[in-house]
Amino acid sequence: MLGPLGCGPDVAVFDEVADTTTVTLDETDERVPRLLSLLEELGIVGWFEWRYDRFTDDELEAARLIVMDATVLLDGIFAGPRVGTKYDMSEACKLCGAGARQTSAMVVDGESLHILEGKRAMHTCYNDILVDEKLAGALADSGATGISFRGVFAAFEKRGHFQLPWRQLCATHTLPRISPRSTGIEPYKSCSCGRSSFTTPAKLPTRLVYRTADIADTRDINVTWEWFGEVKFKGDVSESVLPYPLFLVTPKVWRIFRDAGVTGFDWLPIRVVDE
């Protein structure tokens, strides 16, 4: 079906596990309207359209901060509170859990370890970032500020927990609120704390904007004040789906990940305005 449109393996990738095909085209590409027309003509349903920005290395080098965003969050390894990771909820929102403070090592599902194979870095289903020991060493040796690490354990139902040669990358600094000029971000389930349940609509590129004064005291690794994603929280953390902040890093950190050949993340420079 895609061949006659000129959508070969350079732009179309088939995922045998998910049984899906992803076609990546520039929005000005003449194949886009032809592809959409063909889907409509054939009555094909269940397809999704995403719009996002791509940047050159020069643009990323010139950025003040860069959002480190998982390309497909659902591809991450299952981890977090439902697998046994512990959190301090004393300063978190009582309704949504935003602001939860992790207090234990990161625990991942032992049956999902194949997801880590061949990777230098991977994200969890809660947007936690995991790096192998060599990459963790490179980040530590770089002198990057705002960085800390936690251990990573695999949980098996009958065999308990086993430590892995991976580290969880953590940020010690939280940024102020984003500027209202940000686009591609919206709350899909409001909470009185105003901090959680933000989502990034598929058909609008995510563009974070910060005021100049609000990024004057940033570190090399930071997280957003806003927490994103689905929320299912009724007080019992072990049964919860918690929201998560986004990571924002400097070009220094981006270069380390790039040089390590890390894939699976989109890198989105923030925009800075004077207000």
Buried/exposed code over 254-274 (b: 16+ C-beta within 10 A; e: otherwise): bebbeeeebeebbbbbbbbee
pLDDT at 149: 98
Instruction: Return the DSSP state at 33.
Output: H
Q: How crowded is the C-beta side of 54, counted as CA atoms within 13 Å?
A: 6
Which is nearest to 96 in space by CA: 236, 246, 231?
231
Q: Do residues 262 and 120 lie in contact, with contact meaning Cβ atoms separated by under 8 Å?
A: yes
pLDDT at 187: 78
pLDDT at 58: 97
Structure tokens at 175: 């940024």
What burial class does residue 30 get, using C-beta atoms within 10 Å of its C-beta: 0-12 exposed, 13-18 middle, 19+ buried? exposed
Report the predicted TM-score, pTM, of the whole model to 2 decimal places. 0.89
pLDDT at 163: 96
Domain spans, the chain? 3-41, 57-273
Give the whole-angstrom CA distance, residue 127 versus residue 111: 19
pLDDT at 148: 97
pLDDT at 238: 92
pLDDT at 159: 79
pLDDT at 24: 93
- Backbone angles phi and psi of 211, in degrees to 5: -75, 145
DSSP secondary structure letters along 178-226: PPTT-BS-EESS--TTSSS-EE--TTS--B-EEEGGGGTT--SEEEEEE
How many residues does the structure list for the chain? 275
pLDDT tens over the chain, length 275 residues = 888 899 999 999 888 877 888 899 999 999 999 999 999 998 988 888 888 899 999 999 999 999 999 887 778 999 999 999 999 999 999 999 999 999 999 999 999 999 999 999 999 999 999 999 999 999 999 999 999 999 999 999 877 899 999 999 999 999 999 999 999 998 777 789 999 888 887 788 899 999 999 999 999 999 999 999 889 998 899 999 999 999 999 999 999 999 999 998 999 999 999 87
